[in-house]
Structure 1
Amino acid sequence: MTCRTVLTRLAAALALAGCAATVAPPPASTVQTPSAWRTATGPHGGTVEKEWWTTFGDPALTALVAKALEHNGDLRIARARVAQYRAQIDATAAAQKPNVFVDSAPTRTRQLAYNGVPYVTNVYQAEFQASYEIDVWGRLAAATDAAVATYQAERANADAVALSIAATVASGYLNLRGLDAQLELTEATLKLREESRDLAKKQFDVGYSSRLEWLQAQAEYQTTAEQVPQLKRSIFEQENALSILTGGNPGPVARGAELAQLDPPPVPADLPSELLRRRPDIARAELNLVAVDANLRATRDQLLPSFKLTAVGGIQNLKLHDFLNAPTALWRLTAAVTAPVYEGGRVQAQTDAVAAQRDQIIFAYESAVRTAFSETDNGIGAIFRLKEQAVQNDARRATAAETLRIAHNRYRNGYASYLEELDAQRTLYNADVGRLQLKTRILVASVDLYRAMGGGWTAP
């Protein structure tokens, strides 16, 4: 091959540098950051606790979340995936480094000479080969950047799983304490219903009250008694669910503070929209976008020429003694320029596919941001409205307690039937149950808000 031929082919290869696949522009973003939340939260200056579950002040809850973050199966899988993608960075980056191979091939051959007489020859050979691709256009670097961004996205995903596990455990524990409080209330109410039933039975036996009042007291006792095993079953199932979340077998769960002693953490004042960047799912969406953008560059540049240097060296001899002491040295140095001339539109189609994938990730990112705005706004509004509802519940309970006091006095003095007092007891019991449920819902809503705010995790 003449020098003119080599220069002609090199010039043709370089001319292909302007023939990279075309990339469609990304869609315009439609996300608009709200200036404020729909529910007012007060003046500026709020912060988010990193380990927000500790602000409930319950050591049992803190220990339960810590155990889940260490032993939960889903979280361990997510962390193993992080290690997998970390190794893939090294595998991808290896393409930017020289490759060296060693090949040793001693050969013994029996063949025929020109006169038909067979003879045996030995060839002892060892060869070293090194190759290196010069990343002129940055295609290999873009592939490494994509691997790094994908690894960081998996780290963010592991943080998202950890946040979800911590919030699920906290919500489950608070619901468990709410069920415990309802069971305690129901068992105490059952004792009162038993006393009322026995009193109604005595009064019926002596003719002081009707059989209807006694049967009504009996029915009220049975209704309350029916709720006890139902609550115990719910507690049993909740304990098993928490045990599985913490990486253990189904079993009992240690308790800490009573429901009445638990207070929701204060809501950070005037939460800025930038706080949502703490959410690991948004960080993952951003990093996925970085990864697909780098992958798009690497895919597009497949049409550009590649430059490779190959060096081959070795030693060879026909005799083992000479091979070890005085072998013949052989070497070869090659510089190659490779560029596709016609590939049927494959690279352009692959580029279009990656560009479409990029658009999907952009849309997914926008959806994640809108979901974050919605969940945070819902969390703030839920706490605000539940507290308003609790105020009304307190007023209802006070009215029910006063109603029961009056009904009891009227019945004791003979001005009303026992059915009136039973109705007042039922109303007060429902108000007490409603109070416990509202307290639990406020606590769980606080957990949901901290989950929506990212719970203190930040993007890597």
Structure 2
Amino acid sequence: MNRCIQGRWPQTRARTGASLAMLGLLTACAPTLPPLPDSARVTVPDQWRNGSPTLPSDPVTPTAGPPAGTLSDTATDGALVAPWWNVFGDPVLNDLVARALAHNSDLLLAGARLEEARATLAASRATEGPTVNLQVPYQATRSLQSSGVSNSRVIQPAIAASWELDLWGRNGDLTRASALRLQASEADQRGAALSISATTVQSYVALLALDAQLALSRATLASRQEALRLAEDQARVGYISQLQLTQAQAEYASVAQAIPQQELAIRRQEQALALLTGDSGTEQPRGVAFDRLALPAPPAAVPSALLERRPDIVQAARQLAATDATLAARRQAFLPQVSLSASAGRLYVNALDYDPIRVWSVGASVLAPLFDSGRLRSQFDIAAAQRDQAAFTYRARVLNAFSEVENALAGIDRLAEQRRFALQRRDVLARSLQYAHDRYEAGYAGYLEELDAQRNLYAQDNDLIRLQQTELENRIALIRALGGPAP
């Protein structure tokens, strides 16, 4: 027997060597993973061009791209978005944002996409384990034999198990890709919440600004109505000309015309808020007056911190890492696949008086692709192109985020300076109106001079309201561009 074993050992060793050589040849046929395109890389600046307060922590080292392939399978995110809108000091606004985050259709849709991603991850993880099935085949036959008609019934209940060995990590990479897409969906939901909250705050600010403009127009119309009554009395006695009277009438009509326009804009703005909060078109409540809204302080963040703070950048980074894992799985499809199978059960046959016979089977199979008309290569090239698309998407998101932050930072000082000069001009125009009125009362100037001063002051007051609205919206845009307030 020893001689038999010794005689067969070289043959076995030769077969093993041939199998290993074939396996190495198949492994060499797998394509190499292409690197990320150089044009998809982006350089993160050390600081903002317009300057800003920095976070107290040490700045993050700038990177040229997302850490693909190094992200965990489980996201560790807390609330969707911090309640940064509380800084405006308006409880009605706080309630509106809470309703929007609870009932907005876009956010509900993002939540449904998140649940789909969770289910996809669970399905991917299930492919890594074995499958066990209960089989109960039943067969009845009737045939003619030399001994006569034969009836046969066979029942074979069995439990069958199968398992594909993940030798090369293909199933693990597919599961990791699903986990990263789940993180991308979570970032997408946070981004939707941030966008909805910012849009709700901006819409509410616009509504209060329209209310302020309407109040200004109504107050101006009341004063113009009194001025028009005096002008009509003076025109009847010949104290002023018909030209001066028509100018007063035109100024009164100009302000009166603005009121229904502003009322229509308010109605439409209320409808926009109702759409954001998922309500029907009802009248929206108001809280503090427009000029009592607090101006939020600009959040602090260094440019490199933006990569993990902005939900859209985080989403693009996770999507890029997911496509990278999918590309690795496509490469591993070129390698042999090993599957194990086993079954055990009993066989019941009426010819044996249903005396059960124990049956079982154990097997294994190796599937190695040899020729598929280029199908695997095409799928690999598709995955590589999708990975490059995700890389360019990430680059575009980062560059767009830097641009939005720079624009908002540039607006802080410029808008504050503009408002300072606008207030100075308003004071000058108010004094000019008083001088024009005194000169008209004293008979040194015509009524047209006072009308012109009234027109200029009314226009400047409207500009101040719009400028305050722009400054508030710029702070909202900065919070949104930075991915929310500082943690």
User: TM-score, with normalisation over the residues of structure 1?
Assistant: 0.94
Structure 2 equivalent of residue 189 of structure 1:
220
State how far apart, in whole Å, the 2-side matches of 1:159 and 1:315 are.
Answer: 55
State how far apart, in whole Å, the 1-side matches of 2:384 and 2:55 are.
Answer: 41
**Counterpart code for 2:23:** L
Structure 2 equivalent of residue 415 of structure 1:
444
- Among 43, 51, 56, the residue aligned to 1:32: 43
- Among 272, 275, 283, the residue aligned to 2:302: 272
- Among 336, 348, 351, the residue aligned to 2:365: 336
Task: Out of 271-280 and 243-252, give the one that drifted further.
Answer: 271-280
Q: Which residues in structure 2 correspond to 1:111-126 (within 5 Å)?
A: 111-114=143-146, 117-126=148-157
CA contact (8 A) 1:23 1:352 kept: no
Matched, 1:14 2:23: yes
State how far apart, in whole Å, the 1-side matches of 2:353 and 2:36 are.
Answer: 66
State how far apart, in whole Å, the 2-side matches of 1:288 and 1:63 are.
Answer: 34
Task: Out of 26-35 and 301-310, give the one that drifted further.
Answer: 26-35
Q: CA deviation at 1:388?
A: 1.1
**Counterpart code for 2:202:** S
Structure 1 equivalent of residue 78 of structure 2:
none
Structure 1 equivalent of residue 337 of structure 2:
306
Structure 1 equivalent of residue 52 of structure 2:
41
SS at match of 1:123: strand
Matched, 1:179 2:210: yes
Q: CA deviation at 1:284?
A: 0.3
Structure 2 unmatched ranges of 5 or more: 1-7, 60-80
**Counterpart code for 1:245:** L
Q: CA deviation at 1:7?
A: 5.0
Task: Out of 2-11 and 401-410, give the one that drifted further.
Answer: 2-11
Q: CA deviation at 1:43?
A: 6.9
Q: CA deviation at 1:41?
A: 3.0
Structure 2 equivalent of residue 351 of structure 1:
380
CA contact (8 A) 1:10 1:337 kept: no
State how far apart, in whole Å, the 1-side matches of 2:384 and 2:329 are.
Answer: 12
**CA offsets, 1:101-145, max 9 Å, x none?**
111122221111146x32211112112210011111101100100
Q: CA deviation at 1:321?
A: 9.8
Instruction: Report the identity percentage.
Output: 40
State how far apart, in whole Å, the 2-side matches of 1:125 and 1:6 are.
Answer: 38
State how far apart, in whole Å, the 1-side matches of 2:443 and 2:211 are.
Answer: 38
State how far apart, in whole Å, the 2-side matches of 1:213 and 1:280 are.
Answer: 61
CA contact (8 A) 1:51 1:455 kept: no
**Counterpart code for 2:243:** L
SS at match of 1:303: coil
**CA offsets, 1:130-177, max 9 Å, x none?**
001111110110010001001110110111111110111000000000
Query: Alpha carbon RMSD of aligned pairs, Å?
Result: 2.2
SS at match of 1:403: helix
Structure 1 equivalent of residue 261 of structure 2:
230
| Alpha-carbon spacing, 1:457–1:10, altered in 2? closer, same or farther (3 Å) | farther
State how far apart, in whole Å, the 1-side matches of 2:133 and 2:35 are.
Answer: 42
Task: Out of 338-347 and 367-376, give the one that drifted further.
Answer: 338-347
Q: CA deviation at 1:345?
A: 2.3
Q: CA deviation at 1:444?
A: 0.9
Structure 2 equivalent of residue 57 of structure 1:
89
- Among 126, 132, 147, the residue aligned to 2:178: 147
**Counterpart code for 2:30:** A
State how far apart, in whole Å, the 2-side matches of 1:168 and 1:228 are.
Answer: 26
SS at match of 2:157: strand
State how far apart, in whole Å, the 1-side matches of 2:20 and 2:472 are.
Answer: 72
**CA offsets, 1:391-434, max 9 Å, x none?**
11111111111110110000001111111000000001111111
Q: CA deviation at 1:312?
A: 1.5
Q: How many residues align?
A: 452
SS at match of 1:96: coil
**Counterpart code for 1:169:** T
SS at match of 2:34: coil
Structure of higher RCO (CA pairs closer than 8 Å, 6+ residues apart): 1
- Among 166, 171, 175, the residue aligned to 1:135: 166
- Among 101, 111, 117, the residue aligned to 1:79: 111
Structure 1 unmatched ranges of 5 or more: none
Task: Out of 24-33 and 283-292, give the one that drifted further.
Answer: 24-33
State how far apart, in whole Å, the 2-side matches of 1:429 and 1:124 are.
Answer: 95
Q: Which residues in structure 2 correspond to 1:427-438 (within 5 Å)?
A: 427-438=456-467
Q: Which residues in structure 2 correspond to 1:416-455 (within 5 Å)?
A: 416-455=445-484
Which portions of structure 1, spanning 4 or more consecutive aligned residues, are displaced by more than 4 angstroms? Answer: 2-10, 42-47, 320-323
**Counterpart code for 1:388:** E
Q: Which residues in structure 2 correspond to 1:246-257 (within 5 Å)?
A: 246-257=277-288
**Counterpart code for 2:130:** P
